[in-house]
Amino acid sequence: MLRAWIEVWIDNVAWKYVLVVRPIGDGRVEICDPQESWKVVGVFDNYEQAEHWLGEDEYDLVEGRLLPP
């Protein structure tokens, strides 16, 4: 059974872009763009690969409430 969870990541430079990470089975995860009708922008073999990709593109995981710098 697939555990249901999502993470929200935000562009830490412009604060205009939001991406969602969610599991798709067998340890794989996908990254979707909710602003583009949930278009899949990446599929990764594991969470660590997705996290690395997001970090390289300067996205940060949203934890709680973010306030502007």
Strands 59-61 and 39-44: unpaired
Domain spans, the chain: 7-61
User: Tens of pLDDT along 25-39?
Assistant: 899 999 999 999 999
CA 4/CA 68 separation, integer angstroms = 30
| Ranges under pLDDT 70 in the chain | 1-3, 66-69
- Determine contact, residues 15/21, Cβ cutoff 8 Å: no
